[in-house]
Chain A
Amino acid sequence: MGRYVIRRLIQAIPVLLGATLLIFLIVFALPGDPIAAMFGDKRPDAAVAAVLREQYHLNDPLLVQYWYYISGVLFHGDFGVNFSDIPVSEIMAGKFQVTLNLALTALTMEAVIGVGLGLWAALRRGKATDTMILASTLLLISVPTLVTGFVLQLLLGVKLKQWTGLDIFPVAGTFAGLRSYLLPGFVLAGTSIAYLTRLTRTSLAETLRADYIRTATAKGLSRRRVIGRHGLRNALIPLVTFLGADLGNLMGGAVITERIFNLQGIGNQLFTSVYLREQPVVVGIVTALVLIYILANLVVDLLYAVLDPRIRYE
């Protein structure tokens, strides 16, 4: 097991380097001078701009710049500073918190709603409920976040308040604490809820067809006990791993949701930084997301070993 982890970590290094280098090259190919971008509509003073370019190594070859950058990240955990000398890690810290809250809210909703609906559908397999649930998952998968976001914002954020006076879902921002994450969390989770519903349904259905379930039923155990003790627990294995892997996806895919609901998370920050040509911030955020993705997948693979006795890592 230990050796497997080490091997996986070593395998992750080229992926991390490759992905960050790729991002680095794209980002530094972004047109427009980041120094000039700091001055808005006014032309920057040539001498001032020259000094700043020197200071931030902008005159060095790209690969040299990349080396400065990645060595700082890997050896010192230092993500560098933006063009106003503010540490990127400081800029990211607060934004990561917001995105993490959002992603965890989404993940919780996935687990509760997705598994719940999936169970229900599996138990009513072939009946009207099942068809309804499957149809709605199709809808959840198909309607883009962009649309669900705005529509729910309008209906639950604004109209609900206008019609009933209930202020349950704030329209935007995080000023209302945890409540602020409910609506965007659901919007972000939408597609995953649908997948998880389908996955739960399939997984449970397959499990229920297994021999040991038949044995359990034959022994005369109650249906509730068969499903609860034997069926569900085995069916859960793929679900747990789906959830684990999804955390990375949710964090990296939150930009649209964050834009719609004005959450100051990393997606929004990345968007702003792309516009401001703040290359260190852009690279920093993507690097962090790549790291999360790699770690999440590693954890998922290891979870298998823990959950499924048939899988052994040498």
Chain B
Amino acid sequence: MRVTKGAKIVAGTALLALAVAACGGGASDSGGTAAGGGDTTPVRMEIGEPQELLNPLNTTETEGSEVLAAIFEPLVEYDENKQPVEAAAESITTTDSKVWTIKLKSGYTWQDGTAVTAADYARSWNYGANQENAMGASAFFSRIDGYADVHPGEGKTPTSKEMKGLKVVDDLTLEVTLAAPFSQFKTMLGYTAFYPLPASAIGPDGQVTQAYGEQPIGQGLFKMDKPYKKGTDTTVDLTVYDKYPGTKPKNWTKLQFKVYTSSETAFNDLQAENLDIHDSLPPSTIATAKSTFGDRYHDEPDAAVGYIGVPLRYNPEFDNPEIRKAISLAIDRKTIAETVFSGTRAPADDFINPAIPGYRQGACTACTYNPAEAKSLYEKANGPKTIELGYNADGGHKEWIEAVANNLRSNLGINVNPKPFEKFQGILDALDAKEYKGLFRMGWSIDYPSAENYLTPIFGTGSIGTGSNYGGYSNKEFDDLVAKGDQALDAAEGLKLYQQADDILVKDLPYIPVYFYRSNFAYSTKVKNVTLNLLNQVNWSQIEKA
């Protein structure tokens, strides 16, 4: 009798297994193949999983920024000439690059219907700057006068909740006083951190609420249909906000971000037309993308740069600029860009990226490939016989670091030991702790599209310790030129001074630029007119459904 029972249980388990698997499979197929045509099918865009809740003040990574850019209208956008032009702002003016008057366009409303005011901006920025709120983007407000009061540093308590440099003149006018003149301030304002938050975002405890972070209310083109629950949801669904005063897309209203953890999988979906736009094509798909997508494949400059960092402050072995020059000359950037990256990177030849005004082609003469000269220079300068090459293992850097290591080994005849660290931060900690003193990989993606952003934060003396000057390069002449550029009264004059500062870097090679990123994107036959802005975010209003 009991034997019979046993047999039944087996059959039962198997059936149960099938049933559960079946319904689970259906559930995870969210946002799969929707039937084509009609306004109600969304335009589907690939993103990676946003790291944080969707709060502009705490979002410093690209995936969350991509979503927020659809929900919010920035103060400025960037035109074809890469210059900032007013978007949510009516005008942004200054006479001395220190006091800036921001006039808002009337007509913008929060997606809950209330009007957007200058006070919303002031409140958000004060919240974001306050160190007690621990917002990831707090440093963006550091140029505003009074930042030190709300963000005095580790171990100290803010003496104020408001920055004295922010003054609400009337409902639509905000006056911003900077601590020191900064000619690029207007350019900064297009960044995610400067989006305003409505009063309702902040809960009774004075913190931005979890509910807001799951379904932020913005003043931009799209409104979220429902909260995005990270972990369970695989899509972020949005609809055009009907009271949006700017240009709306011509023949569609629904937008869907599909969350992928593998860009290869996303590419398969794009090929199967289960996805409409994919803007982070990995190297392994480029050959296929070029041949199958034709005109629907695009390759544009991206503002990020990849370097080999030199630990000048930590290791005197690299003091001699000739050694750095020899290392630079020994790197075959072109082959690395073509083979390792399949064209998703371009060989670097300046410290300023081609995507940004101020780039000069071939400015870095030591960035060419010349193994013979490299070897003789290196020997003459008596460079170290063994060098280490640190990289963080979490970011897909291994292959190009290995390729660089092979270049240095065979062209300079030295030992090169690539050394993986868990995180980029691990390299910095090891440098600080004097446990590691080798070269290291470094990447820089801009915070705002200005040439200055490639200089001060990475190479300025003031950025040692607090900013991103990890190598510890310090050059007074360079610092002075950048400072002069900051104080310039117009952008063009500033740019000239920045380029002079760039000339010093090209000569000194405090870091060795290796590649510029490219933005590789492709789209399905269901959409057309897909373009990216300077921050690599899609210009949604221009897209048409085919």
Contacts and interface: CB of A to CB of B under 8 A. Distances in A.
B422 A275 contact: yes
B17 A104 contact: yes
B2 A108 contact: no
A125 B252 CA distance: 67
29 contacts: A31-B422, A31-B426, A32-B423, A38-B136, A41-B444, A41-B445, A47-B156, A84-B51, A85-B210, A90-B232, A91-B230, A94-B28, A94-B234, A97-B28, A104-B20, A104-B21, A105-B17, A171-B265, A172-B265, A177-B26, A177-B29, A179-B25, A262-B262, A262-B265, A275-B423, A306-B5, A307-B2, A307-B9, A308-B2
Contact of B467 (A43, A90, A105, A108): A43
Interface in A271-308: 272, 275-277, 303, 306-308
Given A37-B425, A92-B231, A111-B14, A175 B136 contact: no
Contact of A39 (B18, B136, B445, B470): B136
B379 interface: no
Given A107-B17, A268-B261, A91 B231 contact: yes
Nearest to B7: A233
Given A41-B468, A233-B6, A264-B261, 5 more contacts: A48-B134, A52-B134, A84-B53, A90-B230, A97-B24
Interface stretch (B99-107, B146-154, B334-342, B411-419): B146-154
A25 interface: no
Given A42-B468, A48-B138, A309 B155 contact: no
Contacts of A262: 261-262, 264-265
Contacts, number: 199
A176 B268 CA distance: 11
A239 interface: yes
A180 interface: yes
A230 B428 CA distance: 69
Nearest to A303: B9
B131 A48 contact: yes
Given A32-B423, A233-B3, A262-B265, A45 B139 contact: yes
Interface string B59-70: 011000000000
Interface in B1-39: 2-7, 9-10, 13-14, 16-18, 20-22, 24-29, 32
A177 B264 contact: no
A101 B467 CA distance: 46
A180 B25 contact: yes
Contacts of A31: 422, 426
Interface string A59-90: 00000000000000000000000001110001
Interface residues of B, number: 74
B202 to A, nearest CB: 15
Interface of B: 2-7, 9-10, 13-14, 16-18, 20-22, 24-29, 32, 51-53, 60-61, 131-136, 138-139, 151-156, 210, 213, 229-234, 260-262, 264-265, 268-269, 274, 394, 422-426, 428-429, 442-445, 466-468, 470
Nearest to A309: B2
Given A38-B51, A108-B17, A243-B13, A94 B231 contact: yes
B310 to A, nearest CB: 16
A71 B2 CA distance: 42
Nearest to B427: A41
Contacts of B3: 230, 233-234, 236
Contacts of A233: 3-4, 6-7
B261 A45 contact: no
A237 interface: yes
A181 interface: yes
A177 B231 CA distance: 18
A51 B213 CA distance: 19
| A105, A237, A308: most-surrounded residue (chain B CB, <10 A) | A105
A23 interface: no
B134 A240 contact: no
A173 interface: yes
B132 A51 contact: yes
Minimum-distance CB pairs A-B, first 6:
A178-B25, A91-B231, A233-B3, A47-B131, A36-B425, A51-B134
A36 B133 CA distance: 16
